[in-house]
């Protein structure tokens, strides 16, 4: 079973290492990890996709919560969230036939061609993981030169948020 | 007025009421040591190895309940602290370690004596810091102490680059700590406490399984109230020995791999296990799915991550054990019927702890003798191995913080420096360190620290000339192939301690031990008693790893 969790962390040096090393030493597997700034200053948001049953997920959540730099951990259920991934795909375009077929495929997927020369095209796509996978598989026969994926990012649907933090002093 | 980073650290230590630091100076720590040199309210104990400093701070923390403080320079000084930090981490002991670091402009250049100690200690500290701006020094040190002692306690490391120690800023000690990523729960959920009270009311065969959390939250008297009020027998882990008086009829002593037969039988038979400040370690549970398989489990712990980690729990209560027990004890808990207590009495009568007592100087006899002579508040500190188990089984602990031992990490060499730390914290109490000859040699350099600081500690070496616990396993599970467990070339420990200016006594015979111990305690100085014990003596009962704890070697079958 795969889970997507949002982890809000203090934005300072070493925090990524803390989170990553926790996964390694507790034997949890990370499928993907995306990090960037959140809506609040000094707080970064990680989106981590992990594999495991409910018990593993519970342990991951609790262990993450123990890290002092982790402010909040939220399980983002796939049924009630929007998820996207960005990929850049550099593909061979040796023949004219290939070229037009690739352009058609890109159109069907509503992807964009963002770089081109006589040998290659670089395609940008966003979407669910399945969509990105499907596009990559269709392009594979032409010869993939390079693929880079951001890993999944996700937000809960509607007005539910993982944040809403206020600085409260400890007792 | 502006202060240097080093001055700020020392001012913070004073604010945190630190009275003693264990450590060793070095290149990049000189600014801080220079400030300490003229600071009269803080005593610095110079150990002979940084590992000794970390263990001494740990022993100090366990004996007093205060935060222990140790210090080391960068590079090798810092890495020498690592074992001590891991040891404190696994046993949830509050420590703050300060390490020196190369100046910030050299960090990352493989400078002389540079290591990334923050990275190295990431998995073995509760949190750690590199001070990169002198302005943050005060708040970081304050946070370090706050995090070390609150919630589930643990070690925190603060890395101090040399230029930060020398840089100046205005000193302001923040009024309070505010960390939005760290808010431990102290008060248990009242509905859960109520549910626990109901289960206790219904249970026919309840047992309390008390762990180190009872000691760290100072909940011994609340534990005693609960047990006596409802007539519930109590078994303790190694970490919790002394939290419930072993002289009381409800006490079952220690459970687990080398637990008492009656504790292990009682836990296996119970219909309700009240687990207090424990983590269901493999040395306690044996075969996990058979541990307490007939029982409902109430688990009270301050660390939510411990609940449901190893066993599934029926009633979890997150919070401070002391606070929760106070509330729980407010409920009317009826005295249990006598049937279960009779069963337990029978277990105790039929399956007592036993060993073959003869003319030889047996380790069990040593512990029984100490138990007879020593005052209730005597602190017993052990290293790790067979001697540790004999010390746990054959001495009656009656007060909390009187048994100090390396539990989770199983650190040989822990005992001796920890005993010095305990004595530093409790100078009025008798401190006896029980060690093996193997363990003692892992930190024997601290004899110098003991003699030089006039630590009136008695060290008893149970000297069997081998790495006894490993030898025992080789005998039982490796066809008596004693690979590398004979300690040929052991020193003459009496001469060794005399070379440092301490007192050494050798005991060869059983009848000599009593007077040697009396003499050692009455001398009121550092004394080492080298007891030559039989190599063949093993620790029983024993549960084979992976077996259920009701299946013990060295005990008649039920």
Q: Which residues of B are less than 8 Å from A163 in CB distance? A: none
- Region A137-142: mean pLDDT is 96
Chain A interface disruption, residue of B90, B305, B306, B319, most A CBs within 10 A:
B305
Q: What is the pLDDT of residue B20?
A: 98
Contact B305 A65 (CB under 8 A): yes
The rounded radius of gyration (Å) of the Cα atoms in chain A is: 19
Q: Is the pLDDT of residue B332 over 90?
A: no
Model pLDDT for residues B415-470, shown as the tens digit of each residue: 999 999 999 999 999 999 999 999 999 999 999 999 999 999 999 999 999 999 99
Per-residue pLDDT, averaged over B120-139, amounts to 97
Residue whose tokens read 């609960």:
B226
Q: Is the peptide bond before B548 cis (omega within 30 degrees of 0)?
A: no
pLDDT of A161 > 90? The answer is no
A25 in contact with chain B, both atoms CB, cutoff 8 A:
yes
Would the CB atoms of A18 and B182 count as touching at under 8 Å? no
- The Cβ-side half-sphere exposure at B443, using a 13 Å CA radius, reads 35
Nearest CA in chain B to A24: B123
Q: Per the CB < 8 Å rule, is B178 touching A170?
A: yes
Q: Which residues of A touch B146 (CB under 8 A)?
A: 170
Which domains does chain A possess?
Answer: 2-76 (3.30.70.260), 82-153 (3.30.70.1150)
- Residue B558 has a pLDDT of 61
Which residues of B have a catalytic role annotated? 50, 112-113, 162, 469
8 A C-beta contact, residue B188 and residue B300? yes
Residue in chain A nearest B118 by alpha carbon: A14
Instruction: Give the mutation candidate from B180, B185, B187, B318 for the A interface (greatest A CB count, under 10 A).
Output: B180
Q: Sketch out chain B's domains with CATH numbers.
A: 2-170 (3.40.50.970), 190-350 (3.40.50.1220), 363-532 (3.40.50.970)
Q: Does A74 touch chain B (CB under 8 A)?
A: no
What pLDDT sits at residue A166? 45
Tell me B429's DSSP state: S
Q: Which helix (H) or strand (E) holds B326?
A: helix B321-330
Neighbours of B59 (CB within 10 A): 33
ipTM for the predicted complex: 0.89
Report which of A101, A136, A139, A142 is spatially closest to residue A119, judged by C-alpha positions: A142
Residue A144 pairs in a beta bridge with A91
Residue with tokens 């550092």: B526
CA–CA separation, B417 and B421 (whole Å): 6
- A67-81, B356-370, B410-424, B500-514: the lowest-pLDDT one: A67-81
Within A67-120, residue ranges assigned H as helices are 96-108
Average pLDDT in chain B: 96
CB B152 within 8 A of CB B302: yes
Residue of B181, B186, B280, B320 to mutate, interface with A, max A Cβ within 10 Å:
B181
Across B423-554, the runs of DSSP E, i.e. the strands, are 431-436, 457-463, 503-507, 527-532
Q: Convert B331-375 into a string of H (helix), E (strand) and C (coil).
A: CCCCCCCHHHHHHHHHHHHHCCCCCCCCCCCCHHHHHHHHHHHCC
| Interface list for chain B against chain A, based on CB atoms closer than 8 Å | 118-119, 122-123, 126-127, 130, 132, 146-147, 176-183, 186, 303-305, 308-309
Contact B303 A17 (CB under 8 A): no
Q: Which residue of B has its CA nearest to A60?
A: B305
Q: What confidence category does residue A158 fall into, taking pLDDT thresholds of 50, 70 and 90?
A: confident
How confident is residue A170, by pLDDT bands cut at 50, 70 and 90? very low
Question: pLDDT (tens digit, 9 = 90+) per residue, B211-256?
Answer: 999 999 999 999 999 999 999 999 999 999 999 999 999 999 999 9
Question: A9 contacts in B (CB within 8 Å)?
Answer: 181
Residue with token string 């980690």: B309
A168 touches chain B (CB under 8 A): yes
For B380, the 3-state DSSP assignment is strand
A70 touches chain B (CB under 8 A): yes
Q: Which residue has the tokens 């022993």?
A: B59
pLDDT tens digits for range A22-65: 998 888 889 999 999 999 999 999 999 999 888 899 999 999 99
With CA atoms as reference, the chain A residue closest to B131 would be A13
- What per-residue confidence (pLDDT) applies to B24? 98
Task: Classify the C-alpha dihedral B444-B446-B452-B454 as positive or negative.
Answer: negative
Tens of pLDDT, residue by residue over B279-309, are 999 999 999 999 999 999 999 999 999 999 9
Q: What share of chain A is helix, strand, coil (3-state, %, to 5)?
A: 30, 40, 30
Q: Which of A40-44, A100-104, A167-171, B230-234 has the lowest mean pLDDT?
A: A167-171
Closest-CA residue in chain B for A166? B180
- The answer to whether residues B276 and B208 touch, using CB atoms and an 8 Å cutoff, is yes
For B303, name the nearest residue in chain A, comparing CA atoms only: A66
Residue A167 scores a pLDDT above 60 = no
Percent of chain B with pLDDT over 90: 97
Residue B123: list chain A partners with CB under 8 A: 21-22, 25
Q: Is the pLDDT of residue A171 over 70?
A: no
Contact between B435 and B462 (Cβ < 8 Å): yes
Say yes or no to pLDDT of A20 above 70: yes
Is residue B556 pLDDT above 90, yes or no? no
The mean per-residue pLDDT over the stretch A98-115 comes to 96
- The whole-angstrom distance between B124's CA and the closest CA on chain A is 11
| CA–CA separation, B288 and B309 (whole Å) | 12
Using CB atoms, pick whichever of B122, B132, B180 lies closest to residue A71.
Answer: B180
Sign of CA dihedral B477, B478, B481, B487: negative
Instruction: Check A169 against B123: CB less than 8 A apart.
Output: no
> B119, A17: Cβ pair inside 8 Å?
yes
Q: Does B305 sit within 8 Å of A59, measured CB to CB?
A: yes
Residue A144, C-beta contacts closer than 8 angstroms, at least 6 positions apart: A89, A90, A91, A92, A136
B178–chain A nearest CA distance, Å: 4
Q: Distance between CA A83 and CA A90 in Å, rounded?
A: 23
Tokens 């006896």 correspond to B432
**In this predicted model, what pLDDT tens digit does every residue of B28-50 receive, in sequence order?**
999 999 999 999 999 999 999 99
Kindly determine whether residue B127 and residue A68, on different chains, have CB atoms separated by under 8 Å.
yes
Torsion, CA B150, CA B153, CA B159, CA B160, rounded to 10 = 40
According to the model, what pLDDT value does residue B483 have? 97
- Is A170 within 8 Å of B177 when comparing Cβ atoms? yes
What is the least distance, in Å, from the CA of A150 to any CA of chain B?
A: 26
Cβ–Cβ of A68/B147 closer than 8 Å? Answer: yes
Angstrom CA distances, B416 to A23, B403, B404, B420, stand at 35, 13, 11, 7
Q: What is the rounded distance in angstroms from the CA atom of residue B497 to the CA atom of residue B444?
A: 9
C-alpha pair distances (Å), B98 with each of B73, B95, B173, B267, B284: 8, 10, 18, 42, 34
């Amino acid at each position: 079973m795969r889970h997507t969790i949002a982890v809000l962390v203090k934005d300072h040096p070493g925090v990524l290492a803390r989170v990553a090393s926790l996964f390694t030493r507790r034997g949890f597997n990370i499928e993907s990890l995306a990090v960037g700034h959140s809506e609040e200053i000094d707080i970064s948001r990680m989106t981590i996709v992990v594999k495991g049953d409910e018990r593993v997920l519970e342990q991951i959540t609790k262990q993450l919560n123990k890290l002092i730099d982790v402010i909040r951990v939220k399980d983002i259920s796939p049924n009630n969230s929007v998820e996207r991934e960005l990929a850049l795909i550099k593909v061979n375009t040796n023949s004219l036939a290939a070229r037009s077929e690739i352009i058609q495929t890109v159109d069907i997927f509503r992807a964009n061609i963002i770089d081109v020369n006589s040998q290659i095209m670089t395609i940008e796509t966003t979407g669910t993981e399945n969509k990105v996978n499907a596009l990559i598989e269709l392009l594979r026969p032409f010869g993939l030169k390079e693929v880079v994926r951001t890993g999944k990012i996700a937000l809960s649907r509607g007005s539910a948020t993982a944040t809403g933090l206020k600085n409260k002093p400890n007792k | 007025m502006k202060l240097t980073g080093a001055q700020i650290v020392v001012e913070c230590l004073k604010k945190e009421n630190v009275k003693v630091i264990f450590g060793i100076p070095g290149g990049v720590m000189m600014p801080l040591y220079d400030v300490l040199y003229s600071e009269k309210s803080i005593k610095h104990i110079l150990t002979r190895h940084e590992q000794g400093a970390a263990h001494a701070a740990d022993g100090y923390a366990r004996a007093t309940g205060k935060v222990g403080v140790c210090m080391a320079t960068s590079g090798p000084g810092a890495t020498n602290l690592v074992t001590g930090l891991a040891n404190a981490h696994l046993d949830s002991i509050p420590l703050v370690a300060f390490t020196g670091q190369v100046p910030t402009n050299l960090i990352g250049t493989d400078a002389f004596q540079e290591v990334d100690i923050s990275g190295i200690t990431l998995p073995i500290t509760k949190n750690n810091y590199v001070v990169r701006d002198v302005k943050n020094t005060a708040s970081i040190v304050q946070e370090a102490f706050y995090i070390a002692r609150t919630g589930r306690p643990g070690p925190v490391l603060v890395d101090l680059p040399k230029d930060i120690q020398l840089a100046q800023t205005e000193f302001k000690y923040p009024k309070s700590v505010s960390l939005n990523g760290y808010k431990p729960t102290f008060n248990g959920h009242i509905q859960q406490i109520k549910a626990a009270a109901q289960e206790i009311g219904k249970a026919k065969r309840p047992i309390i399984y008390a762990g180190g959390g009872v000691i760290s939250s100072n909940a011994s008297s609340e534990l005693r109230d609960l047990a006596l009020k409802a007539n519930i027998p109590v078994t303790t882990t190694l970490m919790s020995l002394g939290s419930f008086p072993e002289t009381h009829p409800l006490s079952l002593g220690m459970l687990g791999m080398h637990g008492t037969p009656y504790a292990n039988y009682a836990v296996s038979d119970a219909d309700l296990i009240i687990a207090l400040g424990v983590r269901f370690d493999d040395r306690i549970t044996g075969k996990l799915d058979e541990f307490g398989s007939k029982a409902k489990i109430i688990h009270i712990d301050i660390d939510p991550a411990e609940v449901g980690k190893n066993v599934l729990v029926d009633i979890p209560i997150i919070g401070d054990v002391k606070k929760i027990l106070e509330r729980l004890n407010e409920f009317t808990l009826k005295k249990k019927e006598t049937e279960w207590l009779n069963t337990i009495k029978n277990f105790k009568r039929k399956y007592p702890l036993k060993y073959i007592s003869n003319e030889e100087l047996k380790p069990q006899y040593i512990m029984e003798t100490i138990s007879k002579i020593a005052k209730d508040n005597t602190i017993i500190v052990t290293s790790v191995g067979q001697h540790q188990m004999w010390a746990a089984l054959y001495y009656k602990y009656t007060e909390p913080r009187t048994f100090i031992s390396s539990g989770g990490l199983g650190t040989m060499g822990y005992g001796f420096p920890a005993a010095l730390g305990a004595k530093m914290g409790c100078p009025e109490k008798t401190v006896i360190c029980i060690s093996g000859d193997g363990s003692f040699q892992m930190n024997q350099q601290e004899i110098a620290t003991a003699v030089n600081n006039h630590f009136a500690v008695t060290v008893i070496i149970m000297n069997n000339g081998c790495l006894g616990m490993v030898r025992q396993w080789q005998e039982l599970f490796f066809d008596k192939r004693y690979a590398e467990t004979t300690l040929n070339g052991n020193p003459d420990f009496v001469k060794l301690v005399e070379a440092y200016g301490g007192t050494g006594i050798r005991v060869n015979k059983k009848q000599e031990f009593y007077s040697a111990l009396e003499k050692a305690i009455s001398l009121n100085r550092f004394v080492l008693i080298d007891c030559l014990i039989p190599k063949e003596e093993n620790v029983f009962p024993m549960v084979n790893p992976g077996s259920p704890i009701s299946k013990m070697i060295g005990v008649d079958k039920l």
